[in-house]
């Protein structure tokens, strides 16, 4: 599987935030105009239930996840 890599220091990214899960917050970033169904998002999960834990979808900080599927990934 190929992963997209972007120079985030120079590329403005779209950021989406989902706070509907109570103590679990999801933050997704992708290039502007990227479909939320495309596997081109970097998604973080922030869990505040037992202190603050920050993890990435499928354990990877690369742009390889679909925002629409954020609840189905494993986060490490």
In this prediction the pTM is 0.83
**pLDDT given for residue 6 in this prediction:** 52
Question: Is the model's pLDDT at 2 over the cut of 70?
Answer: no
Dist. CA 17–CA 4, nearest whole Å:
21
What residues contact 20, with CB distance under 8 A and at least 6 apart?
A: none
pLDDT per residue as tens digits for the range 8-37? 567 789 999 999 989 999 999 999 999 999
**pLDDT given for residue 10 in this prediction:** 73
pLDDT per residue as tens digits for the range 37-53? 999 999 999 999 988 99
The closest alpha carbon to 23, from 50, 49, 44, belongs to 49
């Amino acid at each position: 599987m190929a992963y997209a890599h972007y120079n985030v220091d120079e590329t403005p990214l779209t950021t989406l935030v989902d706070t509907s899960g109570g103590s679990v917050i999801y933050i997704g970033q992708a290039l502007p105009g990227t479909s939320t169904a495309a596997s081109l998002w970097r998604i973080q999960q922030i869990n505040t239930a037992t202190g603050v834990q920050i993890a990435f979808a499928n354990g990877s900080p690369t742009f390889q996840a679909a925002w629409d599927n954020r609840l189905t990934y494993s986060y490490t």
